[in-house]
Structure 1
Amino acid sequence: MKRLPPLPALHTFLVTAQCCNFTRAAQLLHITQGAVSRQIAGLEEHLGYPLFLRQARGLSLTREGQDWLPRVQQVFALIEEGVQQVGARSTTLQLKAPTCVMRWLLPRLMEWQALRPDVPVELTTTVQHGVDFRREVFDAAVVYGARPNHGLQTQKLFDEQLTPVCAPQLLSGALPLQQIADLDQHMLLHPTRDQRDWNAWLDAAGASLPRQGKGQHFETLDMAMSMASQGTGVAIGDWSLIGDDLKCGRLVTPFPLKVSTGQAYYLVRPQGSASAALQELLAWLCEQAQAPQ
């Protein structure tokens, strides 16, 4: 069996064939023109036929060189694809998300890791609702707000729908929570300083409470929900995020009214190609978001 030609020489042939100029090939390969010429001559000697016609105005491919070029291109394309795919399997995906979506996202990432331990995900949480991929090194992010429109690959997870939530014992305790007016007898837990979420829901319900402006304020939605699950008061929660809490009985929704705010949660990533692992994770998260609660 004839010995295969050396890979470095094939790479030199590929670059030289694409520009048909020894000087330019040397610049692209960061070697001397003489080294390029020697590698091509050695490859031609190994194969037993010329690959280039040396002419006064430059180089041109022989018939054999023309036949070799697409085959060598295919070989290096397969090598590059293999490097990318194998590297993707061993690379941790970097994901960013705001704390307000943690109650929904974290259990699903734990499930993903159980299903795909070969594709680890590193999650960074923040109180910020956006991401700037020009300055932040993440593969993808969950963002909250209006639909992003600044050159990102965007997939909607779900719309924000506000509704009161509380611990089950508040429904039939000393001050049973049975109608909207009963909210005035309980502490309202506010996930924001401006109380906008409670105000939006009460306005939609056509209700005004004497003690509406009073209550406890928290820095994050997750903190308010955690306090509500302990029976401290009634929080205003996002229906889309609390499915797991409702299923296990940590929280209940005392009233059926859900108010859409026009805001939503989105999965975003930079424009351009993405690894197969990242595409699979994002598609899986979207499927989870569309599953009925």
Structure 2
Amino acid sequence: MKRLPPLPALHTFLITAQCCNFTRAAEQLHITQGAVSRQIAGLEDHLGYPLFIRQARGLALTAEGREWLPRVEKVFGLIGEATEQIGVQRETLQLKAPSCVMRWLLPRLLQWQKERPDVPVKLTASLQHSVDFQREPFDAAVIYGPPPDNSPGALHLFDEQLTPVCSPQLLEGSPALNAPQDLQEHLLLHPTHDLQDWSVWLEAAGLRLSNLGSGQHFETLDQAMSMASHGTGVAIGDWSLIGDDLHAGRLVMPFDLKVKTGLAYYVVVPAGAEPSPPLEELMLWLVEQAHLR
């Protein structure tokens, strides 16, 4: 295999061919005109044929020079592309989200990392439903609550819709669970320490249960859903967050009634901030995933 020509000489050839003038090439390369001329002459000696026709008013490429030019342009284009892409530190997006949304969010972020390994995301879970960007160093956050009035760039993911859920085995067993009033005979599972979620749904269903206050309470929605899937009792959950469990058959809805609370989940960025292209892509992707339910 013939020895390859030196890379600096090829770069000088590229600039000179684009200018067709030794003087202008020297100005761009920040070397003397004589140095340009010597490098071109050395390259021609190495190859064994001329690349330029020296004319009184400038330079012209020979037939060999015209064949070399697109190839050298491609080589240096690839080198430039590699310089920009290889070894560049990837931007890790800092995302905060309340623990109640983790059952929906975590599987989707895992899917995001499979599809976009070049845009890593660090997720921080919190019991808080909001974010204070002035004190917390996050690029974006998923929040839960009423529509945010101080985040014009907030993107709506989905509304909270409460509905009872249980395991398929509990639904098929005894005591019966055919109508909402049958909840009186079952252990009620609460995703929080208050009775609010069950109270909202029961009011919409027109029911009052004497066993409402005697159920089992949990710290998070995830804990309540896990206990429900094992047949422990009937939990109240957000239909929007437990769709994966319903599709997989781990949980079932004994009744059709879903009650909107007026609260929802949003993905937000700091007020006045312009999200980076990768962050904007992630936010829009999450909205798209929310609409696939």
TM-score relative to the length of structure 2? 0.70
Deviation of the 1:88 alpha carbon: 9.0
CA distance in 2, matches of 1:243, 1:92: 28
**Residues 142-175 of structure 1, C-alpha deviations (whole Å, 9 max, x = no match):** 0000111124520000000000011111111121
The structural deviation recorded for 1:5 is 7.8
Q: Which residue of 1 aligns with 2:28?
A: 4
**Structure 1 contact 157–264 (Cα < 8 Å) conserved:** yes
Q: Any runs of at least 4 consecutive aligned residues in structure 1 with deviations exceeding 6 A, and if so which?
A: 85-89
Map of 2:257 onto structure 1: 257
Backbone CA RMSD of aligned residues: 2.0
126-135 vs 224-233, which deviates more?
Answer: 224-233
Quickly say closer, same or farther: Cα 1:137–1:88, change in 2 above 3 A. Answer: farther
In the TM superposition, residue 212 of structure 1 has moved relative to its aligned partner by: 1.8
1:123-142 alignment to 2 at 5 Å?
123-142=123-142
Shift in Å, 1:104? 0.6
Name the counterpart of 2:224: 224
- Give percent identity, aligned residues only: 62
For 1:204, the aligned partner's letter is A
Match of 1:290 in 2: 291
TM-score by length of 1: 0.70
Indicate the residue corresponding to 1:117 in structure 2: 117
- How far 1:3 sits from its partner (Å)? 3.1
Q: Which residue of 2 aligns with 1:39?
A: none
Q: CA deviation at 1:222?
A: 1.5
Secondary structure of 1:278's partner?
helix
Structure exhibiting the larger radius of gyration computed from Cα positions = 2
Equivalent residue, structure 2, for 1:273: 274
Q: State the distance in 2 between where 1:205 and 1:165 align.
A: 15
Match of 1:161 in 2: 161
**Map 1:194-233 → 2, pairs under 5 A:** 194-233=194-233
Which structure 2 segments of 5+ residues have no match?
Answer: 1-24, 31-82
Distance 2:153 2:87 in 1: 22
CA displacement at 1:87 relative to structure 2:
10
| SS class of match (1:213) | helix
Query: Offset at 1:272?
Result: 2.3
Distance 1:87 1:193, change over 3 A: farther
**What is the identity, as a one-letter code, of the residue corresponding to 1:205?**
A
